[in-house]
Structure 1
Amino acid sequence: MKILNKRIHIRVATGVATGAFLFSIFASITWFYISYHQEVDRSRSQIKQVITTIEQTASIAMYLGNKELAEEVLRGLEANDIISAARLTSQDGLSASFSGNSDLDQADTAIIFPIVSPFDENEFVGDLLVYPNQRYIENNAISLAKIQVIVLVFYSVIIALLTLIIVNRILTEPMKNIANRFHIITPGDTTRIEVPVGHKENEIGALVSDINGLLDAVNNQIDNERDLRSETENLSKKFRFIFERASAGIGLIDSGNQLIVANPALLRLLGQTFIVDTDRFSKTDFTGYFNDPAEIKEFIEEFWLKPGNQFSAMDIQLKHKVRAADRWVHCLFSKVEDINNPDDSLLEVVLYDITERAEREQNIIYEAEHDPITQLLNRRAGMAKLEVSLEEADKKQRKFAVLMIDLDGFKHVNDTYGHDAGDKVIIEVAKRIKQFFRGSDVVARWGGDEFLIGFSYNPNYETAVSDIASDLQFQIALPVEIGHEQTACVGSSIGISVYPDNDEAISALIEQADEAMYYVKNNGKNFFRFYQAEEATASANR
């Protein structure tokens, strides 16, 4: 660091010298004026003193009319340098004078002294005109004034030098040393400024003490900031470690649904495995990673409208990859609001891979809704789907048929070949039945050897149900391999009810199909029959 030079010393010296110079000029002019006028006044006073000494002799010369004596008096005046000319004039006409080198016509500068009688003070005997030697007096006054001015300037210079030395010794030099010492101390340095000798109890000592105190405070602040920075860095490393090593995917989404920050787990979940460094990740449309972008977009838009910093979650399926299994994630959203700039608020999203859980849940739901042997809908699930399918058919103005199927001869297969063979027959019949229907149709195992079918059809296709029932009976009647090069055959009794011809309630339609099926069972089996109202009456009579 640059050490201070002597600029402050020079500035102090310049200030003192300038002050002394200005003071000297002002004092010299003033002193010159005063000295000049004092010297002029003193010269006039001397002239009066000289006149006083010769006044008695001049009075006698004027009284006696003695010109020689008068001239003698004038010669005495002529010997004095401060008098350039003089003239004695009596009342009787006596006149004597001398003019030296001066002009006696300078009446405006003459000093008139009246001469009184030597015997009577009230009697004037003549006048004495004295012409001061103005040039001599002025030169003499100027010379004397110059000498005094020179002395004054000399005194001023001496005083200025002494003042400069004293100020430099007492103030400037210690301050310069303090400043130089202060400027070589770097932040965090334990070195402190020493108090100059003799200044421990004055303002300089207090200044040094305050500077040292300030340096201590700065060092403490630096230490605190260093510790805080170290803690912040350690905390940042921990958060960074957590962010990068977290098993859950973590990211930030802006108001435009752009994913702007993502940790490696989130990138892996979203299939961005080619991005190794998260810093290289460029923002992308977050909703585009899901199988149903509209669903996640609508969810996010609704979440933005919620007041406060709430949490919201949803389970959603990720977009399919080529030849990849379905993947499900649990998305947890929370707002990261900027109070000063609400428009810059973000959404924090945490994603958990719940594919295994979703699969387990789906398996549980599937097992709860499906028959374990045939994998068809069980009675409870079939009933629920029938109600939904009937509502859909009503909305689309389509007819809806309910078929109740009971296998003929199935008990004989079980008793003859065993339950394993019976299961094989049930499974094969279920496959044959299922191949006739769409995914939206209802195919359920209603009981041991009973199946329930529900499907909608175009009301203009009047033979649709009969055709399907006929084909079903044909397929069901085909032999079924039960192992060991053996086959088994079963028939089918089918009861049919139709919405809205027979009824509008699904429970009633099922009951009607069941009654029609029992009519077939009781009347020769192995054919199908539509529900007839008289059958219900006959059944009731029985």
Structure 2
Amino acid sequence: MKNWWQTLDIGSKLNIPIQVLLLLALSFAHIWIMAHIKEEILDGAERRATVSADGIINGMNMMMLNGTISDPNQRLLFINKMSDTENVKEVRIIRTRQVQDQFGYGLPEEQVRDEMDKRVISSKKTDFLLNEDPIAPTLRTVVPFIASSNFRGTNCLTCHKVEAGSVNGAASITIDMTDDFKAIRRTQGMLWLGQILLQLLLFFATSRLISHVIKPILQLQSSMESMQRCGSMASFVPLPLDERNQDEIGKLARTFNQMSESLYNSEKSMRLASSIYQSNADAIVVTDENNLIVDVNPAFTRITGYTLDEVRGKNPRLMQSGQHDIQFYRKMWRAIIDQGHWQGEIWDKRRDGGLYAKSVNIIALRHQDGSIYRFVAQFSDITEKKQKDELIHWQANYDPLTNLPNRRLFQDRLNQAIKLAHRTELPLALFFIDLDYFKEINDTLGHANGDVLLMEVARRISSCVREADTVARLGGDEFTVILPELSDATQILRVAKNIVDKLSQPFFFVNDETGYHVSASIGIANYPQDAMDTKGLIKCADKAMYAAKSEGRNRFVYFSNSGQ
């Protein structure tokens, strides 16, 4: 999707979002209008149904006044006549319990039939139920009969021995909504047709407007492509400018003309400088007195990835990697200005973002009056050499499985920690950690899963300590932790408990939902209480660890409490 978008011209990139927004806006308006129209039609249908139900109630009221309501046949005749009305699907009269108790059960059609009947009788409120069946849509309305001393001029309480405000019954009428839904669908079709026509009209209008706006940009593109094909500024023809045009595109065209004229004037000197550097295997970059790049040779492009056009007029700091602080660069520039040269190693960043190391020599060129007019830097890529040195160092000092310090680096870190503790007079602690039951899992599940478990153990232990602490793997299932500069003895207890707790939690492997358990036996030795040197601390921590195993495993033991 991203690559497809990048292949589009700017006109399409402008037109597509506009058309999408217009489509969304028109669709929203369409939906809103249809919802409003549908609401109006349904409100009208509800009013019609309510009026019809009201007519049924009035008819029943007249039957009560003339005494015919007590005749079931008369009631049934009245209901059948009302049902014959146009668009009426069903008419029912509903008797409540209090009317049945006084006047009898009534006709089967007059009984409470469904939840809607019950809801209207209990709530004493008119209710509506819309059935949007695509073939036979209907609207059902149920209106309650509320007993009153003045119900439309009639005192209901004269005949009905009930409380005022109670429900004597209800009128249910179901009307046919087929014509109403046809009107809705007809209106919706007209709206869709109108939206399509309007969308097409807006599409052609916006396309024409965008084409007019981007015309200068296309001229700029054509001019740049012409210079690119020629490979020289000699083919540069200034873009025609309308001085009245002060928008961003006009400013862009003026800026392009100014930039191109400047490049044309400097092309002769650039050719001379370029010819000097062609055969040099080392990268060479020349900057002006303000340290803005004037020229580079092909080796510079090969090493950094930047072409001359990309860096001309820019400060070389755009290649800074962030590996050196400001003091490093201040010291370098002080030597260049004061002594006229500087030589050393720098980590820089290529155009693609990759870091590389270079051995660089920088000199300052001065006018006869002593003022600087050029800086020249010559450098070579020594990344491969540095990487080999770092790989050798890493292989010598780190465990390849867990990326933790190995035994060699652990010894060095412990020596440094003891020296620091001696200087600061702050104690340090050494943990010796041996996994319980690791051999069983390694033999049962295989060495591959054993390695996965060791990596997870390393991660869990590392999550329990500070950045200043050291976690190392001595080999097999043996790990160590160095806690320097301890201001509080409770730190040791907290870290030890945390490690024991985390390593006692189950371990899971890919495609295996079974949780496997190991635990840790930890021996703790403290400097200077238990020992004053590296060898003594290691020996004390090792003995404490074996004491933890003998006491039942899954625990930590201080050397001072181990009985050794």
TM-score (norm 2): 0.44
- Computing the radius of gyration from Cα coordinates, the structure with the larger value is 1
